[in-house]
Amino acid sequence: MENNNTVEKKPLKEKLKAWLARYGYAVVLTIIVLLVDCIVYWLTRYIAVNFKVFDFTIHGFDDKVPLLKIFFIPYLLAYPYWFIAPIIAAKNKKRFCNWFVAVMISFLITGIIYCFMPTTISRPIDEMLASDNPIDNWIGNFYLFDGGYVPFGCFPSIHCLLSAFCYIGVRNQKNIHFVNRVGILIMDILILLATQFTKQHYIVDLISAVFLAEFTFFICNKFNLGAKLERFITKIENKIFNKEAEKHQE
């Protein structure tokens, strides 16, 4: 029985090793993306408090968008989605490295805007907190946690920015299953809509984020700005694999 268990576990271990050998770099880079995302969103507000706050409301449009509570589901699902989708997109290392550099450049631009031209949005906090509905209370407390009455970091929307990048990562990649590409596109659209129907962003926040993602990726991919990163990753992988090969020979 012990021998059978050993035989059964070995293939899974080998599959995991093979998967990490192929996508381990993507896991590390994706974790870096999520960490920088948090830094840009949460730390820039400490600088932003010293500057004038702008309101980019388009009256007659943004103030007519309803609060649809169901859209908090895709809004919150964005967080695990941001980890899973980039790794799916990592089958092409060259493209993924350009993708990563584009994300970092867009975060830098976004962080500068957040610091020196902070924007805000009006949300129904008091209305939600005064409600007898526990879901409304949760939404009101979520608003308080995420910026309170004068939230910063709205333009461009990081939620829209990173979600747009997730689809850009898999777009036109024939080596990625069609179902995965369509699923990521649908999730992307739902998250973009969620930023509006949860009253977390205005339409200009959405449009600017998608434009920034498309522009930075176009430039990075066209001029292969991720080439040095790709060479560095390949060098590290070769060292790791050579050490593994030496261990097996011993």
Q: Model pTM?
A: 0.91
Specify the pLDDT at position 7.
Answer: 46
Pairwise CA distance, residues 163 & 171, whole Å: 13
Residue 241 exposed, middle or buried by CB count within 10 Å (0-12, 13-18, 19+): exposed
Quickly state the pLDDT bin for 73 (edges 50, 70, 90).
very high
What is the average pLDDT across 174-178?
Answer: 94
Distance CA 121, CA 195 (A): 12
Q: Quick check: 246 pLDDT over 70?
A: no
- C-alpha 136/C-alpha 32 separation (Å) is 34
Predicted local distance difference test score (pLDDT) of residue 3? 52
In this structure, the number of other CB atoms found within 10 A of the CB of residue 7 comes to: 9
Distance CA 232, CA 234 (A): 5
Encode 26-44: b = buried (16+ Cβ within 10 Å), e = exposed.
beebbeebeeebeebbeeb
More confident residue, 33 or 9: 33
Above 60 in pLDDT, residue 2?
A: no
Q: Is the pLDDT of residue 249 over 70?
A: no
Cα radius of gyration (the chain): 21
Residue 216 structure tokens: 């930075």
Mean pLDDT of the chain: 92
Q: Enumerate long-range contacts of 63-72, CB under 8 Å, 24 or more apart.
A: 65/196, 65/197, 65/199, 65/203, 66/197, 67/124, 67/197, 67/198, 67/199, 68/197, 68/198, 69/135, 69/136, 69/139, 71/190, 71/193, 71/194, 71/197, 71/198, 72/139, 72/142, 72/194, 72/198
Check if the beta carbon of residue 202 is closer than 8 Å to that of residue 123. Answer: no
**pLDDT tens readout for residues 82-126:** 999 999 999 999 999 999 999 999 999 999 999 999 999 999 999
**Three-class SS state of 49:** coil
Condensed to tens digits (0 to 9), the pLDDT of residues 201-235 reads 999 999 999 999 999 999 999 999 999 999 999 99
